A = this chain, B = another copy of it.
Amino acid sequence: MPDTTTAYQALEKKFARLSAISGAAAMLHWDSAAMMPPGGAEARSEQLATLSLLSHEILTSGEISDLLDGAEDDAAVLTNWQQANLREMRNRWCHATAVKPDLVEAQSRATSRCEMLWREARLNNDFASFAPSMEEVILLTRRIADAKSAAFSLAPYDSLLDEYEPGCTSDSIDRIFSDLEIFLPDFLAAVLERQKSDPPPVPPKGPFNQEMQKALGLEFMTSLGFDFNHGRLDISHHPFTGGIPDDVRLTTRYETEDFAQSLMGTLHETGHALYEQGLPREWRSQPVGAARGMALHESQSLLIEMQLSRSEDFLAFALPKIKAAFGGDGAAWDEENIRRLYQKVEPGFIRVDADEVTYPLHVMLRYRLEKALLAGDLAVKDLPAAWNSGMRNVLGITPPNDRLGCLQDIHWPSGAIGYFPTYTLGALAAAQIYRAAGQKIPDLATKVRAGRFEDLIAWLRENIHSLGSSLPTGDIMTSATGSPLETEAFKAHLRNRYLK
């Protein structure tokens, strides 16, 4: 190495290149969902596979390994951010090198096949035809978990979890989930009892013009500070936030008879997008500049959707605009009716449709089942029965078929074990962060009612977004809210919203 370039500087160059490749892949992924004609799929999957392979080759090269060793030897001269960047680099390198290439490739082939079979199985409500492929994915995922477990000195499940929520362990999840398991059942029963005494909310009647729905979504995105110079809004079958921090591609879908689904979906994705747009500008090409993890990412979408947008204060601001857009009139457009509609709690079969009270129960069931699948304590063939009995236990309802049961999510077919808990960790974090913001920002409620979100967004930017991955999730939570992630704020929020 020439002595004018340190190992650390050389690493920054390498990771900037990796960032450009993964950024290119992110744009192509968005295109696949939002723009691509069906006939482009085959070539696109070649493009994405090639970019992924190139990244993997660069990241696992002996050169990077030597540079990491060299930079770590000299870490004392680095700034805090550089040291954090180096830690993130090493973590990515560990994840990439822990698993042998042939296992990575086998898993990639198996999950592609399994996802395809899953789509058919879900359509035809046919778990049996898909079970052998899912069995294969679980088997390979277990081998990956074992390999990572050895490399990270973590329990197998925790080593998978680390990819989505670095530093998180199932011990800490167990503590949090045990608490919710005690709280939620009684709370849910109380809320259901309470809502029974209210008149049932009536959905406003459509059709709702799609252009108008889009205009409304754009208006709220603008109010919340989404930067359209660095992003756009389009349509895809499954709404998501894609692209890169400099060019965030947000998608939604429009239902003619229900404007709220798209609107709430757009607000949810806007929360993700604001996090991306608020990441530290000078570190964007480096690992330390990336979002901290899935739990904090979900916290930002749920803060905007659940904490903010379904609140009475937000409704006071938003409803007049919504009514004006659709010419809404009559009892269904009454503020109290709309509030009850947005805050309705009801056990259901589908996780993505769940309200914020029952959602954690869906997640905790999946968490328990995926740990059992990975450990080999639950066979894939026994999953439907375990699922249905779990649903009966936690929500008191039994899915009439696997389509509405264990076939509803793509996570397991795609090999994503360890992802589900982050949804609920995010919900807890959202409540905790929103409460802290409310304590720090004078008159937040009044500002929300007036559609003035600048202070809230600025606070989130300063305390969450701009930190990137410079600190562990727990430290970010503590510095922003005064304590690490806990259940207290979430429970207080639920009590306040649903039982007051």
Contact = CB atoms under 8 A, between A and B. Distances in A.
B229 A35 contact: no
Interface in A449-493: none
Contact of A229 (B31, B37, B247, B285): B37
A42 B232 contact: no
How many copies of the polypeptide does the oligomer hold? 2
Q: Which of A17, A243, A247 has the most CB of B within 10 A?
A: A247
Contacts of A28: 24, 27-28
Interface residues of A, number: 37
Interface in A190-242: 227-232
B39 A230 contact: yes
A62 interface: no
B35 A47 contact: no
A21 B57 CA distance: 15
Interface string A8-41: 0000000011001101110110010001111110
B285 A37 contact: no
A227 B39 contact: yes
B35 A35 contact: yes
A43 interface: yes
Interface in A265-321: 284-285
Contacts of A403: none
A24 B51 contact: yes
A104 to B, nearest CB: 17
A46 interface: yes
A50 interface: yes
Contacts of A110: none
A39 B285 contact: no
A376 to B, nearest CB: 37
Given A35-B35, A54-B54, A230-B37, A246 B43 contact: yes
Given A229-B37, A231-B37, A44 B285 contact: no
Contacts of A21: 47, 50-51, 54
Contacts of A25: 24
Interface in A49-78: 49-51, 54
Contacts of A247: 36-37, 39-40, 43-44
A36 B21 CA distance: 17
A380 interface: no
A244 B50 CA distance: 16
B27 A31 contact: yes
B229 A39 contact: yes
A47 B31 contact: no
A402 B27 CA distance: 39
Contacts of A27: 27-28, 31, 44, 47
A497 to B, nearest CB: 36
A294 B388 CA distance: 62
A42 B246 contact: yes
A25 B21 CA distance: 11
A276 to B, nearest CB: 12
A311 to B, nearest CB: 30
Contacts of A17: 50
Contacts of A39: 227, 229-231, 246-247
Contacts of A16: 46
Contacts of A24: 24-25, 28, 47, 50-51
A285 B49 CA distance: 14
A56 to B, nearest CB: 13
A485 to B, nearest CB: 32
A49 to B, nearest CB: 8
A320 to B, nearest CB: 29
Nearest to A229: B39
Interface in A406-446: none
Contacts of A42: 246
Given A20-B46, A24-B25, A24-B51, 16 more contacts: A16-B46, A20-B49, A20-B51, A21-B54, A27-B31, A28-B28, A35-B35, A39-B229, A39-B230, A39-B231, A40-B243, A40-B244, A40-B246, A42-B246, A43-B244, A43-B284
16 contacts: A20-B49, A21-B54, A23-B47, A24-B47, A27-B27, A27-B47, A31-B31, A35-B35, A36-B247, A37-B228, A37-B230, A37-B232, A39-B231, A40-B243, A40-B246, A44-B247
